[in-house]
Amino acid sequence: MSLFTDMTLTVSFLVVAGCAAVIGLAGVKLAAVVDELADRTGMGEAMAGAVLLGMATSLSGIVLSVTAAYRGQPELAMSNAVGGIAVQTLFLTAADMSVRRVNLEHAAASLGNMLQGALLLCLLAIILVGTFSPDYTIWSIHPATFVLFGAYLYGLRVIRAGQADDMWQPRQTAETIEDLPDEEPSKTSLTALWMLFLVLAGTLGLSGWLLHQVATVISEQTEVGEAAVGILLTSVVTSLPELVTTVAAARRGALTLAVGGIIGGNAFDTLFAAASDVAYREGSIYHAISDSVLLWVSLAVAMTAVLLMGLIRREKQGLGKIGFESVSLIVIYVVGVVIVLARDLS
């Protein structure tokens, strides 16, 4: 740890920039690999985006949050988790802007993505309930953590069953992009694809560990608290895979994958809180966080609700050729940033 303890602020930001570059490059490759795995395994873009792409691109963030929680930094752990959910939802506006012909939410509406969004709302609500429930723990783990893990696994089962039953489907329009396998899949073997997926995921995990070290240095050497560092810095950097994979998927025409990767990744990211609570040995992590973190949980709920409204309404064109939901997401996120900076620097 002496290497990181003696690190200057300038070097810390350079390390952050290096991690951002590595995370971004790995994310670009992941989008292509997962898109092909979705076709070759028959998993489908919505489920592959939620499970494979969502989990892999979340590794850097979960490593950071768990490491921070284990070292007694609950603010950094939780702010990185919920801040990542908010900023990743915001990234959908970039993908929306890259699809100029029609709004992303119109073309990518699917039952899987809407069920994932509903699951995400439930998981965020559990985190909020945990913070207001009695400060009771079992082996220093709050009951909300067990509920989070169980709800996530049960939610995936419901989503898979809902897609199989096919009781509801969005109406097909001339602008709807169907989830169809590529006509000419690559000649790379399925085993090689899985190995490449694991290597890229491991790279993202290592980057998350390194980011925790420099985030601690930045927090200690500036007047910005851990909550603000987590929300405004580490959550953005660890979420870069979601940005590059979402935009890359949108440009490849895999619009269902683009939206599914964000919503599914966000649902998985709520488990950052559960994993952080397990790693935090000083009691319930839900009761060790500030109002700034709770604010971003609430903002994540609002942003997810707006996204679901966009998927249901399916507006073809909006202000500046992006949907009303993209404009709303930008406004909500900016308001949250202003509030956090005002509270932290006052």
Question: How does pLDDT run across 227-279, given as a tens digit for each residue?
Answer: 788 887 888 887 887 787 777 777 766 777 777 778 888 888 899 899 999 99
The residue-averaged pLDDT of 195-213 equals: 84
- Tell me if 215 sits within 8 A of 64, measured CB to CB: yes
DSSP-assigned beta bridge partners for residue 138: 141
What are φ and ψ of residue 141, in 5° steps? -115, 125
The residue-averaged pLDDT of 117-125 equals: 94
**In the prediction, which pLDDT does 99 show?**
64
Residue type, 245: T
Question: How does pLDDT run across 22-50, given as a tens digit for each residue?
Answer: 877 887 787 778 777 877 777 766 667 66
Q: At a CB cut-off of 8 Å and minimum separation 6, what does 291 contact?
A: 343
Residue 144 or residue 105, greater confidence: 144
What are φ and ψ of residue 10, in 5° steps? -65, -45
Distance, in Å, from the CA atom of 65 to the CA atom of 59, rounded to the nearest integer, reads 10
Distance, in Å, from the CA atom of 31 to the CA atom of 340, rounded to the nearest integer, reads 32
**In the prediction, which pLDDT does 345 show?**
66
Instruction: Classify residue 141 by its DSSP letter.
Output: B
Residue 121 or residue 59, greater confidence: 121
The radius of gyration of the chain's CA atoms, rounded to the nearest angstrom, is 19
Question: How does pLDDT run across 129-152, given as a tens digit for each residue?
Answer: 999 999 999 999 999 999 999 999
Right CATH for 2-167+193-345 from 3.90.1010.10, 1.20.1270.360, 3.50.50.60, 1.20.1420.30: 1.20.1420.30
Tokens of 119: 């699951």
Question: How does pLDDT run across 10-20, given as a tens digit for each residue?
Answer: 888 888 888 88
- Tell me if 211 sits within 8 A of 64, measured CB to CB: yes
pLDDT-based confidence at residue 1 (cuts at 50, 70, 90): very low
Task: Indicate the domain borders of the chain.
Answer: 2-167+193-345
Sign of the CA dihedral running 189, 193, 196, 202: negative
Q: At a CB cut-off of 8 Å and minimum separation 6, what does 329 contact?
A: 89, 90, 92, 93, 303, 306, 307
SS3 labels along the chain: CHHHHCCCHHHHHHHHHHHHHHHHHHHHHHHHHHHHHHHHHCCCHHHHHHHHHHHHHHHHHHHHHHHHHHCCCHHHHHHHHHHHHHHHHHHHHHHHHHCCCCCHHHHCCCHHHHHHHHHHHHHHHHHHHHHHCCCCCECCECHHHHHHHHHHHHHHHHHHHHHHHCCCCCCCCCCCCCCCCCCCCCCCCHHHHHHHHHHHHHHHHHHHHHHHHHHHHHHHHCCCCHHHHHHHHHHHHHCHHHHHHHHHHHHCCCHHHHHHHHHHHHHHHHHHHHHHHHHCCCCCHHHCCCHHHHHHHHHHHHHHHHHHHHHHHCCCCCHHHCCHHHHHHHHHHHHHHHHHHHHHHC
Tokens of 109: 């509406």
**In the prediction, which pLDDT does 319 show?**
60
pLDDT at residue 335 tops 80: yes
Question: How does pLDDT run across 155-191, given as a tens digit for each residue?
Answer: 988 888 876 666 566 555 544 455 455 555 566 778 8
